[in-house]
Structure 1
Amino acid sequence: MDSATDNWDPALTRLLSSLKEVQSGGEDVAFLNELLQSRQLNALVQVHNKIVAAQCKDDKFFPLLSNAMQVTLEVLEMFGNVHTVSKEFEELLILLQKPHLQAILCTHDAVAQKDYYPHLPDIPQDVDDEEETVKIVQLVKSDEPLGATIKTDEETGKIVIARVMHGGAADRSGLIHAGDEVIEVNGISVENKTPADVLSILQSSEGTITFKLVPSFGKGGSRESKVRVRALFNYNSSEDPYIPCKEAGLNFKKGDILHIVSQDDAYWWQARREGDRVMRAGLIPSRALQEGRIIHERQADPQTMDGKPALCSPSQANSDCGPKTPCSPTPNATALLPCKSLPKVKKIIYDIKENDDFDREIIPTYEEVARLYPRPGLVRPIVLVGAPGVGRNELRRRLIATDPEKYVTPVPYTSRAQKTSEQNGKEYVFVTREKMEQDISDGKFIEHGEYKGNLYGTSAECVETIVNSGRVCVLSPHWQALKMLRTPRLRPYIVFIKPPTLEKLIKTRTAANARSTFDKECSRAFTEEEFTDIIRSSNRINFLYGYMFDEEIVNEDLAAALTQLLKMAWRVQSEPLWVPAAWVQ
């Protein structure tokens, strides 16, 4: 033993000293002697001793962080502002994007955010053996909702557990399941009582809550789903009069990524926002429920453009968890509001040209997504869409000018005659009208149109050629072209170029002496009517196609919008991003 081993575990030291007294034993003793002197074993024993010592104390374990994955994502976002990179920078960037490292960090956060040491009193022993099988469940009452919902069973009239919220205290206990019959709460029988009566008992309880339950055999909790979706609408549970419990609702905004943990209920799903530190799930309207609301709204006001939810909502008759108790006094009812049967969404065959009838029939609610990780050979096109005059073509030109070798736009096709100053394949690819009409008929153009008797269009083959060359294809097509572009084959990143308010639009364009894009014959300033048309057209595009957009850029200041576009272009090629799930299968 030397000074380097003075801090070794005393038990190991004593065992090692005893081995020296053994005169025989051959290879086994030699192996054991070498093992006991290894630094690896000593380190493991020290870790074990610290854990045992900590478990003997009343103090809980507290991790240094409980949001390690969120910190990692913030670091990756900061990297987007770094222009000069070193070898160490590149290695760290690759390491932080490794799925195995991210999985470890997510697992760490899941463990760090849970409390494993509830202190409960002894379970009462006065259970009558002659009663039917029951279970006693005790939960600590705290600021956290207990995460269970109750209702009166329509057939038996008894109080039963209607829903257990994933990640809540009731779910983490593993002892309360949907369908369990409630016999007593804190020693008080709930026979002939309503959910509101049970709420009163719970509100007057302090410390712990004790449930006596009749188990619902064969109706255990469902496994947590792994489905992630992108929300395509805004939702505020406090404004929804038909949610079973407002306190149990999960608010979200359009574009948020939601982890759908349970779809057992036909009308109310359980979900968490991806990346949230809170592990308890909340209630959100199901796809079927939200589609019904939107259809009802469109029938009531076909001209609506704001996507607000309608008030017709079939709702399950439950009483749900409040802020500090597992239920609230929502009265039972078979339905809160009768709804008419919903009409089937009609299918209309359409081509690339504008077709409002088809687009209005698309009902955006949720889109299942998965992470798409950057890899060699995967270059996603950047598609800028927006109203005429909003500045998307100018942003495209300026983006390409920052690096013409990296950012490329396809050369458009035309049927017009070639001018002597033009070079075929540079300004345009010149083809005959018959050839172009045939290619349009064969679906070879992602967009096309006619101006002064001549056809113009963008070839799908040209886009694929750029993508396959390893360069970034930058497009600013008509919004109708998104139907052809948003495919698993191209996997575009779609950016909506949005105008500022009308007042700021007029002010900024006038100050910049912007020229109207509505008049091809002469150069002049925008009229006030044209500014109004830009706002109106932008709202219409967002209403019809907003569910396809990956990001929005408000083009108030052109330089600021370009800076935002450059940062976005870097993220698209270097960070894992959420895309439709079919794109990564």
Structure 2
Amino acid sequence: MDNSTDNWDPALTRLLSSLKEVQSDGEDVAFLSELLQSKQLHALVQVHNKIVAAQCKDDKFYPLLSNAMQVTLEVLEMFGEVVISSNEYKELLKLLQKPHFQAILCTHDAVAQKDYYPHLPDIPADADDEEETVKIVQLVKSDEPLGATIKTDEETGKIVIARVMHGGAADRSGLIHAGDEVIEVNGISVENKSPADVLSILVRSNQSSEGTITFKLVPSFGKGGSRESKVRVRALFHYNSAEDPYIPCKEAGLNFKKGDILHIVSQDDAYWWQARREGDRVMRAGLIPSRALQEGRIIHERQIDPQTLDGKAALCSPSAANSDCGPKTPCSPTPNATALLPCKSTPKVKKIIYDIKENDDFDREMIPTYEEVARLYPRPGLIRPIVLVGAPGVGRNELRRRLVATDPEKYVTPVPYTSRAQKTSEQNGKEYVFVTREKMEQDISEGKFIEHGEYKGNLYGTSAESVETIVNSGRVCVLSPHWQALKMLRTPRLRPYIIFIKPPSLKTLSETRTAANARSTFDKESSRAFTEEEFADIIRSSNRINFLYGYMFDEEIVNEDLATALTQLLKMAWRVQSEPLWVPAAWVQ
């Protein structure tokens, strides 16, 4: 191989070397050998490699100019004004005049100018300049929904675009905006028709027309498409749009489950937000109830059935309004409405007292809907406490003990404080930290304890300082506090990872605890088995805790079998210290 081929592409060189090792004098081998040694192929490979390298550096290509053909014509005109006899000049002039080369330049300009969209019909020459301005929008049909909803304007009675869904076909076209008046669909007038009639026309046209759907619209001249929001929220309730009679368009609804992370892309509508589930590949947003709307529904549900513990929200409030048709529409389906929504009025929450000594009134007034979140990335020095919460008797303390036993150097439980007298067999700071009742009462009044209680005339509690000491030492603090302590623990300072220990069904709970010869935690005086009533109390208490504090939980474990539950707990404990997780947005600011 001569020196002129020293800079050849390595892949071509290796291929040519392999070909020479083939002991064959056939015509095919000779042809391939000649092709691999051609300068033209080498030049093409170099161009390919540069394009690939550029693509790896930047996924987007931008044309340097969009009038390459015009520049070529200007160059040819300049060549016509001078006389040059060099061979290079003649070769370039001949190349620029070739039809195939000019066709490539014209295609380049068409792509650069995005001149490949469907062309709109020309405006008639005899059109009256004083007539209303209209625009004709033509969209290519596909299986994807249009991504827009319509409504009847309450004042004019005309059909208008109610909203355009972010990421949908209508939004990507950039030609359809909220407020545009619809005049025709595929040449069929929509005058004096209801939204339902227009949808029927659209369905028939979609079945019969070929290739495109054409809208004649009167522009609203309002604001164009709004920029996508970057807000992420954790859903604190389940939602199924098929069960919601007041959503403007069921097909546009986004279903989600409690705990799903949602990307809120638009909050322009007071009642219906546009959102996508985080991680979904579908870019078209869907409708979900806004925070104000969902809060109103939950308030109404609590007023109707104060004892409901499952947290399900009603889908209709006592008075509702059609956000698409105006605030005066009654709470019942009407022919001209595309959707009916509850009114914005939010009455005060009615207090519900479960047990006055547990003081759940404040927590009962919490109305969990959405919580703004952000990712918290693990880093050196960031040790998040693990908090196990659950009903008495569900096994959270046993799980805490077993987790600590797997690695006592890593997982640590704070030593509780008490005002009772120290026994001779006890060591201060090991089983308990012994303090006087006066000192402990003073610290409690100053908010220095995350939880406290009294048993047989003695105070017991866990101090906030002891938790922070463990966290600052680089170890994982493991807690199993009373559920009301979550209000003091769930702070930006501690950033705990809260795991709800949930009992299985009543039947399974009774069977598994009886088989394991479990001892009741309700009777501190004697060791005995659980009673059926105590099993039922565990289920009831668990439901209430989940209802009042479920919006704080990061994970849940159904404690049917201790070994299985411990395995799940260990996996969660590893994740919280090693993976980026969603937390309240205030924790990462």
Q: Is the Cα–Cα contact under 8 Å of residues 414 and 462 in structure 2 kept in the other structure?
A: yes
Q: 2:450 corresponds to which residue? A: 446
Give 5+ residue unaligned stretches, structure 1.
none
Residues 225 and 126 (structure 1), Cα distance of their counterparts in 2 relative to 1, 3 Å cut: farther
Q: Is the Cα–Cα contact under 8 Å of residues 145 and 323 in structure 1 kept in the other structure?
A: no
Greater Cα offset, 29-38 or 374-383: 29-38
1: distance between equivalents of 2:542 and 2:159? 52
1: distance between equivalents of 2:404 and 2:474? 15
Residues 102 and 165 (structure 1), Cα distance of their counterparts in 2 relative to 1, 3 Å cut: farther
Give the drift of 1:323: 28
1: distance between equivalents of 2:465 and 2:376? 24
Q: 1:500 corresponds to which residue? A: 504
Give the drift of 1:59: 19
| Residue aligned with 1:446, SS | strand
Greater Cα offset, 348-357 or 426-435: 348-357
1: distance between equivalents of 2:536 and 2:82? 39
Deviations 1:324-357 (A, max 9, x none): 9999998324984776943234899999983211
Give the drift of 1:108: 25
Q: Is the Cα–Cα contact under 8 Å of residues 323 and 341 in structure 2 kept in the other structure?
A: no
Deviations 1:37-87 (A, max 9, x none): 999999998566998999999999999999999999999999999999999
Deviations 1:515-561 (A, max 9, x none): 11111111111111111111111001001100000000000010010
Residues 27 and 220 (structure 1), Cα distance of their counterparts in 2 relative to 1, 3 Å cut: farther
Deviations 1:281-315 (A, max 9, x none): 11111110110011001111110111222142499
Mark the structure with the bigger radius of gyration: 2
Let me know the Cα RMSD of the aligned residues: 16.9
Which has the bigger relative contact order, CA under 8 A and spacing at least 6? 1
2: distance between equivalents of 1:581 and 1:349? 32
Residues 410 and 152 (structure 1), Cα distance of their counterparts in 2 relative to 1, 3 Å cut: same
Q: Is the Cα–Cα contact under 8 Å of residues 239 and 256 in structure 2 kept in the other structure?
A: yes
1: distance between equivalents of 2:588 and 2:126? 57
Residues 427 and 295 (structure 1), Cα distance of their counterparts in 2 relative to 1, 3 Å cut: same
Aligned length: 585
Q: 1:251 aligns with which of 255, 275, 278?
A: 255
Q: Is the Cα–Cα contact under 8 Å of residues 323 and 339 in structure 2 kept in the other structure?
A: no
Greater Cα offset, 441-450 or 339-348: 339-348
Residues 12 and 583 (structure 1), Cα distance of their counterparts in 2 relative to 1, 3 Å cut: same
Q: Is the Cα–Cα contact under 8 Å of residues 244 and 317 in structure 1 kept in the other structure?
A: no
| Residue aligned with 1:495, SS | strand
Q: Is the Cα–Cα contact under 8 Å of residues 314 and 335 in structure 1 kept in the other structure?
A: no
Deviations 1:172-223 (A, max 9, x none): 1111111111122112222222222221221654431011222222321111
Q: 2:185 corresponds to which residue? A: 185
Residues 468 and 85 (structure 1), Cα distance of their counterparts in 2 relative to 1, 3 Å cut: farther
Q: Give the TM-score taking structure 2 as reference length.
A: 0.77
Residues 355 and 33 (structure 1), Cα distance of their counterparts in 2 relative to 1, 3 Å cut: farther
Q: Is the Cα–Cα contact under 8 Å of residues 390 and 534 in structure 1 kept in the other structure?
A: yes
Residues 147 and 72 (structure 1), Cα distance of their counterparts in 2 relative to 1, 3 Å cut: farther
Give 5+ residue unaligned stretches, structure 2.
none
Give the drift of 1:10: 17
Q: Is the Cα–Cα contact under 8 Å of residues 179 and 222 in structure 2 kept in the other structure?
A: no
| Residue aligned with 2:341, SS | coil
Residues 11 and 531 (structure 1), Cα distance of their counterparts in 2 relative to 1, 3 Å cut: closer
Greater Cα offset, 332-341 or 313-322: 313-322
Residues 161 and 99 (structure 1), Cα distance of their counterparts in 2 relative to 1, 3 Å cut: farther
Greater Cα offset, 233-242 or 78-87: 78-87
1:201 is aligned to 2:201: yes
2: distance between equivalents of 1:89 and 1:382? 78
Q: Is the Cα–Cα contact under 8 Å of residues 382 and 493 in structure 1 kept in the other structure?
A: yes
Q: Is the Cα–Cα contact under 8 Å of residues 149 and 327 in structure 1 kept in the other structure?
A: no
Deviations 1:355-379 (A, max 9, x none): 2111110000000000000001000
Q: Give the TM-score taking structure 1 as reference length.
A: 0.78
Greater Cα offset, 465-474 or 1-10: 1-10
2: distance between equivalents of 1:74 and 1:564? 73
| Residue aligned with 1:578, SS | strand
Residues 205 and 279 (structure 1), Cα distance of their counterparts in 2 relative to 1, 3 Å cut: same
Residues 10 and 83 (structure 1), Cα distance of their counterparts in 2 relative to 1, 3 Å cut: closer
Q: Percent identity?
A: 93
Residues 30 and 190 (structure 1), Cα distance of their counterparts in 2 relative to 1, 3 Å cut: same
Greater Cα offset, 31-40 or 207-216: 31-40
Residues 48 and 182 (structure 1), Cα distance of their counterparts in 2 relative to 1, 3 Å cut: farther
